[in-house]
Amino acid sequence: MPQSELQRQLYDSFKNRAILYYLIYDELRGELGAEKAEEILQRAIYRRGAQKGPKYAPFAPADLEGLKTAFLSGIPDEGRMFQPEVLRSDASALDIKFHGCPLRDAWLEEGLPEKEVATMCRIAARIDNGTFESAGFEFFADTWQPGGDGCCCLHIRPKK
């Protein structure tokens, strides 16, 4: 299926974001070391996620069904960009597995070693921590690992 110009621009913008994340990380790593670079970038990305959190706050602390609907409806390109699969959805847990990720794909296309791509995925995933934690939910993610199936898996729980 040929992409529209708008779709191409959307995907290109995510690729640009991925490359910027990596270049900033690489510069920080050169100056401060890998551990400090990752810490700084994760904090900044978490803060951006926290700015997005209020959108989902009306569903906190426990309306996981409402959160699921709101979150999935906001995935770009009618969900095709990240290809979400709901693995679990009940009153105690919402688990969403992404089968695609334009950020990971961009890093792989750029030729980054898989271990470094895994680091970048761990860094980038902090946006979700910021988003869901600031909205009032418990959250953790399993990020992509070399040889893994799909990409990240988000785990959202009611806040106790």
CATH at residue 35 = 3.30.1380.20
Query: How confident is residue 1, by pLDDT bands cut at 50, 70 and 90?
Result: very low
Count of CB atoms situated within 10 Å of the CB of 108: 15
Considering its fold, how many domains does the chain have in total?
A: 1
Total-model pTM: 0.94
142 pLDDT above the threshold of 50: yes
Residue 2 pLDDT: 52
Burial (CB count within 10 angstroms: exposed 0-12, middle 13-18, buried 19+), residue 160: exposed
- Predicted local distance difference test score (pLDDT) of residue 41: 98
- Grade residue 3 by pLDDT with cuts at 50, 70 and 90: confident
Q: What percent of the chain has pLDDT over 70?
A: 99
Model confidence pLDDT, tens digit, residues 40-89: 999 999 999 999 999 999 999 999 999 999 999 999 999 999 999 999 99
The candidate with the shortest Cα–Cα distance to 104, out of 128, 79, 121, 85, is 121
Structural domain harbouring 12: 5-158
Q: 84: cis peptide before it, omega within 30°? A: no
d(CA 152, CA 150): 7
In which region does residue 142 sit, left (phi positive, over 0), alpha (psi from -120 to 50) or beta (all else)?
Answer: beta
